[in-house]
Amino acid sequence: MSGVASSWRPIVRLAARGDGISDDGRFVPLAAVGDTVDFSQTPPLIHPGPHHAAPACAHYPDCGGCQMQHMDDAAYRDFVIDRLGRVVALPADVRSIALSPPRSRRRASLKALKRGGKLQLGFHSEGTHALVDIADCPVLAPELMALLAPLRGLLKARLKDGQGAGVALTLADEGVDALLANVSADGLAAIESLSDFAHAHDLARLSVEEPGGIDTLVERRQPTLSMGGVGVPLPVAPFLQATREGEAALVAAVCEAVGNAARVADLFCGLGTFALPLSRQAQVLAVDAAGPAVMALGVAARRAGRKVDVQHRDLFRRPLEGKELAGLQAVVFDPPRAGAELQAKALAASHVPVVVAVSCNPNTFGRDAKILMEGGYHLTTLWPVAQFRWSSHVELVARFERG
């Protein structure tokens, strides 16, 4: 490094959690590729390079929600591809990364704590129980962000000093669905206060979760999400893709990967994110262990006249295999972060022509992909999806062909 002191080292790549790594292997938080670092200082002094960016959030990096606001989009895209390339040999056909825009997150799980008469509402700092009080979040959809100030007022009045609570917000097609955990709804005054809040802020639904379970206090409109042109009624605090843009990218990739298959299985189907779009042209077997989700999917599919056969089943313990896979022209599997090792082994032993993996964890995807490839499949196409903007969380769709 001509003209640069020996204590200065370049950042040449990023670790899985977004830390910069120097050319001599040292980890540097908040450093981007192209930065240079003076290790003679404590902490090391970062000289910003061409891909270093000013964070979009005043709470960064204290809030644990984002790890990568210190780099531009080009560096982030390189990070995504590099991370995927470390778990699987990339195919020739790698599509452009679908990156969700700022202020597009349609679900959020926040924590609240009342202490010394003051109410904090926000996210935990990464790896700690420290609560970061959020004034603004450039990730959240405006409809969710607009509720944070009113929620502070409500929770300050409802919580005792030292008491904590959970807040789950979901932006449905009909408005916001809110779930408050550890917030008492005992007595007429409490119910009226919570109901008044729901009406004043036009919530679609407001529920509370106490030790006895979940109780819906107000449902002004049934929260639904449109999936493949079908409105699916949402259970309270459902799992759904984080952004509409991310969901659209994943659905488009899955539909392209499945192609003209007429008989398809959607494993770990959830509410039907893929099953319902695929059912426009295919007979779909949709399987998941989440009872409320598959029940909602079944109701929606029947009402719409879609060809979806719903099965409530724990695929971690009882994967689809053998004769159950026979005759299927394509299988889509979208497991949680733990992946689907047993299901991947069953697929590897099958004769299904096309397997489409959807993953939210590159590490477990790499393991499951290896199982499929050792069973005779080859990876043809990869669609990277980054709907958790500024996060090290990477998602993807991968198409495997038999033979």
Q: Determine the straight-line distance between the first and last CA of the chain, rounded to whole angstroms.
A: 49
Residues in the chain: 403
Structure tokens at 231: 């409105």
Q: Which of 63, 66, 137, 360 is catalytic?
A: 360
Q: Are 11 and 33 in contact (CB under 8 A)?
A: yes
Which structure tokens are listed for 76? 């982030």
Check if 360 is active-site: yes
The first and second tokens of residue 306, run together, are 């879609």
Residue 31: CB atoms within 10 Å = 27
Q: Edge-to-edge strands of the sheet including 175-181?
A: 131-133, 118-124, 107-115, 164-172, 175-181, 205-210, 213-219
d(CA 371, CA 346): 10
236, 183 Cβ separation under 8 angstroms: no
The Cα–Cα gap between 100 and 215 comes to 33
Is beta strand 330-333 parallel, antiparallel or unpaired with respect to 308-312?
unpaired
Contacts of 393 (CB under 8 A, 6+ apart): 360
Catalytic machinery residues: 360
